């Protein structure tokens, strides 16, 4: 198998450096000397660069795919980011060629919560180990294939995507390439680990409560959660439609280009398409700062340091920054969100029971999944509907927030990446629920509101762990976040940072 050519890697670095060297005036803060001109070269090309190398015949799709397979085989034993490989079909597709779209020929991973025809969808669960291959693609997966990607396998997820870590008991933990004793986050942890380690240039991710943003924060990546209804296959606009699909990436431009490639343009699309956002805006923003999580917990010192540094950077860029407060009763919101989340678990466990012909035990489903299903079984009649009604009110309150602000900045999590086992599915239910409440309190509201949000890798701890900073906007205002992300990427580049376990 052939790796990227030396000449190609030099071209990739030059192309990425050219993007980083955008004049400071284009960032909206012409009086500030930017560090972008002296930014370290990317340690490995992003997807945009690899696609350009394929178009220019610097490398072939087969070379790109074979190189990704070689990296995957080398790092899978250490990181455990993949639950099912599809190397033979990927090689056949690369040999055949004919891929079109902005990422034609670029290797890719699909998350194991989504159907990809010819491969089973196992949902990170022992109860699905015997699942047959899917016979059709999810609509978003179809859109990704139309963008030109070649799929080399399915990435790991926690069981049914419930937890903010990727430690499915059926497959074992996915390990963080920055520190293999730490969590990658979840539920798109396999995608994030593979992307951060350089196995692939970016990978499919989905987000129903933080599952794009949390792995990005834990693995030093850019993670963008789109507005509900923005991208292919995302047509349910109800509050209960929590999950959206997109990617975790190493560069803002990769995420923005994938957004444009999969954006809905049909007559029923709820928002006017924004296309490819390719640069920062000069507009000065009103930015509200949240430090405490939804349950009132202040973040750990390293997370707070990352937030404080981000605020200083935003102020230096000329934005108006002021304190913000949650627009909802956060403690009640947390309980209502858990009720809605648990209702989904109850349906998943019911489907598993039907498939098995019996109620699953802890050999087939994880204790936390079973605990959520039991919570719903014991809930008073009408509890789920009441929770949904209150969550709809919270969504409206979220929209009202943006009469004062254009963007809200906060941590993604209260802690840096936690040790493996800290929030895994076999921790006793009451203890795990308390840990989750303490750890994950910033991201779920945006899923209820259907709003865009992103994790930007702006901070690393003293011992080398990445800490993402969270930015959110009003539903439909995805463009403002991409524009801000470009400015942040150029002002404080992360492309030169390389994890200890990497290709």
Show which residues are catalytic: 111, 187, 211
Hey, how many other C-beta atoms are within 10 angstroms of the C-beta on 413? 29
- Residue 43, φ and ψ in degrees, nearest 5: -75, -15
- 172, two tokens: 């074992």
Q: Mention every residue, 6+ apart, whose C-beta is less than 8 A from residue 121.
A: 112, 113, 114, 115, 128, 131, 134, 154
The whole-angstrom separation of Cα 45 and Cα 102 is 15
| Greatest alpha-carbon span in the chain | 68
- CA 325 → CA 31, 155, 175, distances in Å? 31, 37, 35
Q: How far apart are CA 225 and CA 213, in angstroms?
A: 7
Separation of alpha carbons 247 and 255, rounded Å: 7
The 8-class DSSP code of residue 116 comes to B
CB contact burial 52-86 (16+ within 10 A = b; e otherwise):
bbbeeebbbbbbbbbbbbebbeebbeebbbbbbbb
CB 140 within 8 A of CB 233: yes
Beta bridge partners, 288, equal: 322, 408
What one-character-per-residue DSSP string does 339-373 give? HHHHHHHHHHHHHHHHHHTS---TTTS-HHHHHHH
Q: In what order do the strands lie in the sheet with 244-249?
A: 202-207, 244-249, 222-225, 453-460, 466-472, 407-411, 286-289, 320-323
d(CA 236, CA 88): 35
Query: Could you tell me whether strands 320-323 and 286-289 are parallel, antiparallel, or unpaired per DSSP bridges?
Result: parallel
Residue of 217, 239, 223, 199 lying closest to 65 (CA atoms) = 199
Q: Which of 470, 451, 441, 442 minimizes the C-alpha distance to 241?
A: 451
The answer to whether the CB of 321 falls within 8 A of the CB of 355 is no
Structure tokens at 90: 């990927």
């Amino acid at each position: 198998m052939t790796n990227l050519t030396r000449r190609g890697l030099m071209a990739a670095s030059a192309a990425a450096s050219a993007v980083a060297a955008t004049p400071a005036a284009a960032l909206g803060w012409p009086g500030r000397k930017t560090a972008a001109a002296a930014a370290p070269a990317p340690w490995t090309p992003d997807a945009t660069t690899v696609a350009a190398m394929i178009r220019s015949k610097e490398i072939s799709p087969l070379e790109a795919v074979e190189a990704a397979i070689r990296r995957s085989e080398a790092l899978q034993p250490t990181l455990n980011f993949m639950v099912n490989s599809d190397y033979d079909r990927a090689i056949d597709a690369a040999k055949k060629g004919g891929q079109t779209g902005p990422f034609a020929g670029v290797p890719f991973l699909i998350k194991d919560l989504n159907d990809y025809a010819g491969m089973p969808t196992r949902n990170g669960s022992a109860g699905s180990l015997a699942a047959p291959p899917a016979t059709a693609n999810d609509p978003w997966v179809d859109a990704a294939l139309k963008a030109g990607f070649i799929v080399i396998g399915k990435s790991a997820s926690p069981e049914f995507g419930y937890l903010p870590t990727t430690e499915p008991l059926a497959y074992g933990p996915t390990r963080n390439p920055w520190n293999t004793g730490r969590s990658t986050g979840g539920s798109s942890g396999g995608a994030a680990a593979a992307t951060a380690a350089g196995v692939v240039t970016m990978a499919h991710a989905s987000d129903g409560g933080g599952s794009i943003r949390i792995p990005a924060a834990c693995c030093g990546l850019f993670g963008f959660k789109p507005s509900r209804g923005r991208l292919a296959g995302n047509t349910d606009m109800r509050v209960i439609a929590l999950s959206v699909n997109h990617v975790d990436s190493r560069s803002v431009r990769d995420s923005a280009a994938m957004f444009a490639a999969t954006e809905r343009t049909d007559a029923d699309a709820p928002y006017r398409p924004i296309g490819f956002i390719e640069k920062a805006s000069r507009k000065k923003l009103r930015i509200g700062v949240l430090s405490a999580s939804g349950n009132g917990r202040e973040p750990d010192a390293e997370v707070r340091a990352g937030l404080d540094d981000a605020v200083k950077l935003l102020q230096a860029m000329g934005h108006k920054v002021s304190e913000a407060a949650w627009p909802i009763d956060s403690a009640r919101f947390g309980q209502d969100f858990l009720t809605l989340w648990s209702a989904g678990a109850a349906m998943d466990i019911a489907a598993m029971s039907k498939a098995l012909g019996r109620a699953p035990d802890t050999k087939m489903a994880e204790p936390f999944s079973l605990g959520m299903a039991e919570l719903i079984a014991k809930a008073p009649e009408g509890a789920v509907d009441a929770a949904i009604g209150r969550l709809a009110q919270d969504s409206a309150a979220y929209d009202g927030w943006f009469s004062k602000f254009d963007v809200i900045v906060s941590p993604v999590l209260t802690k840096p990446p936690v040790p493996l086992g800290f929030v895994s599915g076999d921790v006793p239910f009451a203890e795990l629920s308390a840990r989750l409440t303490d750890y994950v309190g910033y991201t779920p509201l945006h899923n209820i509101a259907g709003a865009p949000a992103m994790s930007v890798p702006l901070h690393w701890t003293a011992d080398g762990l990445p800490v993402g900073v969270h930015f959110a906007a009003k539903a439909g205002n995805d463009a403002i976040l991409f524009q801000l992300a470009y400015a942040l990427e150029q002002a404080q580049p992360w492309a030169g940072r390389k994890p200890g376990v990497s290709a």
